[in-house]
Amino acid sequence: MSMENIGRVAAHEPPYYTVVFTSVRPDRPEGYGETAERLNELVQEVPGFLGYESARTPGGLAITVGYFRDEEAIAAWQQSLEHQAAQKRGRAEWYESYSVHIGKVERSYGFERE
């Protein structure tokens, strides 16, 4: 099933990959905002990066979904030294817990109000 144009939410032709990152952290830990902004710039340069979406319940869970064309694109992002340094700082200072689920998407669909 191919994906319709669904406006504010991502539309990509399968196959592609979702990297689901769920995390628990304080609202505004020191240094977090600047690092997130820098990573947002960096990831745009990764060949095969398709975009990301993020939501966070105040005081609760955050979920970010990154969309990548293939495993190579994910590996390139994971091998970024600046990304690795940020992950290390995240474990040391920011996150209570997180989980990462890397899935190969063969099927997607969407809806947009007319």
Output 14 or 45, the one with its CB closest to its own copies. Answer: 14
Q: From the CB of 39, what's the least distance to its own copies, in Å?
A: 17
Residue type, 89: R
* Structural tokens at position 58: 């105040």
Applying CB under 8 A, which residues contact its own copies?
Answer: 3, 6-11, 17-18, 20, 22-24, 53-58, 60-63, 65, 67, 91, 95-113
C-alpha dihedral sign at 14, 17, 23, 29: negative
Q: From the CB of 97, what's the least distance to its own copies, in Å?
A: 4
Output 85 or 100, the one with its CB closest to its own copies. Answer: 100
Dihedral Cα 43, 32, 24, 50, nearest 10 deg: -10
- Number of residues in the chain: 114
Output 15 or 47, the one with its CB closest to its own copies. Answer: 15
Output 55 or 81, the one with its CB closest to its own copies. Answer: 55
Q: From the CB of 47, what's the least distance to its own copies, in Å?
A: 20
Q: From the CB of 81, what's the least distance to its own copies, in Å?
A: 19
Distances (CA, A) of 82 to 7, 41, 69, 74: 31, 11, 21, 15
Strand partners, 51: 67
